[in-house]
Amino acid sequence: MRRIMLTVAYDGSAYHGWQTEPTGVTVEEVLNRTLSALLREEIRVSGASRTDAGVHARGNLCVFDTASPIPPEKIAPALLGRLPDDIVVRESREVPDGFHPRRCDSIKTYEYTIYRDRLPDPLVRRNSWFFYRDLDVDAMREAAGLLIGEHDFQSFCAAGAQVQTTVRRITDLQLAEEGPFLKIRISGTGFLYNMVRIIAGTLVQIGLGQKKPEDIPRILAAKDRSQAGPTAPPQGLCLMKIDLYPEGFPAGLLT
């Protein structure tokens, strides 16, 4: 048996998230079915990040074990034409037995895209949040800077999360304007349920003047979901990449 790691990109519009569930088709389910047919054995992938319904990815990771003689690096190209067009395995490689990306120190990077214009564009509706009102991006950037670092993000966690602690570390949070697009790129060592989307919704409230940048410390201290902004729609969110550090974070990375 060998352990294979895949880098997976997908448009999540048609899927009920990553993880297999009885209520709808998921990315994990499609991968399991397609890999099982290709490798002629039952395959069950295990993902590094369980994206929600409608959320996209450019660089999610998953692993599985196989006895197939197909060279690991050939699995990704062999899946082209077998998977639906909205799922692409970008890389396949062998990793040590027992290796799992969830057991490594890692930095996940997400990007949330807002499309700002007078009218919506149907060509970008699947991967952005349409917003016609003016946003104060400078105020949003000021607020974003106050979220960087290690904090208790309970106020930015959706109800129902089953976690031992709501303390998380954001290593970087930047806003970039690219024509009509406003992109919120956030990196961190881990994220709570809907945390990135709640941060995006809160920053939008600040951009609208409904909250102020100096409200951020108060919202964090409250540890109360009702104090933060709304949960932004799922289609604007994309998991861009997961950087793995199997031997631990390099010195200075988290400062």
User: Burial of 138 by CB count in 10 Å (0-12 exposed, 13-18 middle, 19+ buried)?
Assistant: exposed
Question: How far is the C-alpha of 127 from the C-alpha of 122, rounded, in Å?
Answer: 10
CA torsion through residues 149, 153, 155, 158, sign? positive
Residue of 203, 242, 243, 232 lying closest to 52 (CA atoms): 232
Q: Find, among 187, 170, 173, 162, the residue nearest to 242 by Cα.
A: 187
Q: How far apart are CA 121 and CA 174, in angstroms?
A: 24
Relative to beta strand 181-188, strand 237-245 is: unpaired
The residue written with tokens 């010195």 in the block is 251
Of the residues 52, 86, 152, 243, only one is catalytic, namely 52
Long-range residue pairs from 38-43, CB within 8 A, at least 24 positions apart, any chain: 38/70, 38/75, 38/78, 38/79, 38/82, 39/66, 39/68, 39/70, 39/75, 40/68, 41/66, 41/67, 41/68
Q: At what angle do helices 195-207 and 137-147 cross, to 10 degrees?
A: 140
Distance CA(179)–CA(182), nearest Å, equals: 8
Residue 243 annotated in active site: no
Give me the active site residues, please: 52
